[in-house]
């Protein structure tokens, strides 16, 4: 090999290393963002599924009672729903349970019989009881059976990348579960039933 060819080869390899370094500087931040974003979106989806399962659990436990339910039982069900969300901090979890019924068979809008909320977290949104809401449709479909609505709310934020954006930061994940009673037509906390 000639001296000129050797010199050209050395110069070219130094230039290739410089190009590789520039490509790394350009590509690495995007790969890092993709990696961190994937982890946080997966965490968001996991919390979302857990919140849905907690709402199902609370509704399921309440609908198993016959005729009356004690407030202490509902408090126990709140604890069970909160425990099902572990390792999420229970001080931020809010669980609300509502019981709806029709005053008359001719009504098209559900009426709230009773409700109870856990003492933790911030309040969930109020349920829609209009004649087009799922609550009213379920109560009308059942004609004589009460419907229990369990709502679970959990605040969510993506740790570690506050500068990335607010798509998932400081959001409240809220899930609702409607269930008809299983053991009776009505369920009351107080006797006589309102």
List, in sequence order, the alpha helices (H) in 64-172.
71-84, 134-142
Closest CA to 170 of 156, 186, 154, 153: 156
Number of alpha carbons in the 13 Å side-chain half-sphere of residue 91: 0
Give me the pLDDT at residue 19, please: 78
Report, as an integer, the average pLDDT of 32-38. 82
Decide: residue 78, CB within 10 A, 0-12 exposed, 13-18 middle, 19+ buried: buried
Give the Cα separation of 49 and 55 in Å (integer): 10
pLDDT band at 139 (very low <50, low <70, confident <90, very high): low
Closest CA to 154 of 40, 54, 38, 37: 54
Q: For the chain, give the longest Cα–Cα distance.
A: 105
**16 to 20, 21, 28, 48, 128: CA distances (angstroms):** 6, 9, 18, 47, 64
Q: Per the confidence metrics, is the pTM higher than 0.75?
A: yes
- pLDDT, tens only, 162-187: 555 556 667 888 999 988 888 877 78
């Amino acid at each position: 090999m000639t001296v000129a060819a050797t010199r050209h080869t050395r110069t070219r390899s130094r230039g290739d290393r410089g190009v590789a370094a520039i490509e790394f500087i350009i590509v690495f931040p995007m790969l890092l963002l993709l990696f961190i974003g994937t982890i946080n979106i997966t965490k968001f989806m996991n919390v979302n599924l857990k919140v849905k399962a907690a709402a199902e659990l609370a509704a399921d436990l309440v609908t198993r009672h016959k005729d009356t339910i004690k407030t202490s039982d509902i408090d126990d069900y709140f604890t069970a729903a909160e425990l099902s969300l572990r390792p999420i901090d229970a001080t931020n979890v809010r669980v609300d349970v509502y019981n709806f019924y029709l005053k008359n068979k001719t009504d098209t809008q559900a009426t709230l019989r009773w409700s109870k909320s856990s003492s933790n977290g911030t309040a969930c949104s109020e349920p829609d009881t209009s004649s087009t809401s799922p609550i009213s449709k379920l109560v009308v479909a059942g004609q004589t059976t009460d419907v229990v609505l369990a709502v679970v709310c959990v605040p969510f934020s993506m740790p570690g990348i506050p500068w990335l954006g607010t798509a998932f930061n400081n959001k409240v994940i809220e899930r609702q579960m409607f269930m008809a009673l299983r053991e009776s037509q009505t369920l009351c906390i107080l006797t006589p039933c309102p």
